[in-house]
Amino acid sequence: MMVRSWREEPCTVLHVTGDLDVAGAPRLRDELDLAIAAADPLNLVVDLTEVPFCDSVGLGVLVATLNHVHRVNGRMILVVAPGMIRHLLTITNLDRHFETRESLSEARSAFGSAA
């Protein structure tokens, strides 16, 4: 798994590539922790369009991050394409909790930044 992150006012973007599983989840957790510590305001975009697989450990990292972001009155948007991740969010009813967009430009626009 690879994670690239950058600041793009007014949000921090994390682009994830590879499986979000028991092996890759700790890497994403570490990158999310760094992004959260540096973000002011806490607006995260997590681009999962290049993640073909996510297991319960990966899903747990996303849920824990969402809970933390909500506790500190931040906002988190997942960018998900049709496929496994969107299906996983739907069957677990997490699609009702996560804010999602289909593209990075849509997510950036949701924060009011230029696409």
CATH number at residue 91: 3.30.750.24
Query: Would 114 be classed as within a structural domain?
Result: no
- Is the pLDDT at 23 greater than 50, yes or no? yes
Average pLDDT over residues 43-60: 96
- Phi and psi dihedrals of 14, rounded to 5? -120, 120
What pLDDT was estimated at residue 13?
96
Query: Would 115 be classed as within a structural domain?
Result: no
Average pLDDT over residues 69-82: 95
Structural domain total, the chain: 1
| Domain, as residue range, for 25 | 2-109
What pLDDT was estimated at residue 115?
42
Query: Would 23 be classed as within a structural domain?
Result: yes
Query: Would 101 be classed as within a structural domain?
Result: yes
Lowest model confidence (mean pLDDT) among 48-52, 56-60, 110-114: 110-114
**Percent of the chain's residues with pLDDT above 70:** 97
Largest CA distance in the chain: 35
- Residue pair 24/31 in contact (Cβ under 8 Å)? The answer is no
Residue 105 CA to residue 114 CA, distance in Å, equals 8
- Is the pLDDT at 52 greater than 70, yes or no? yes
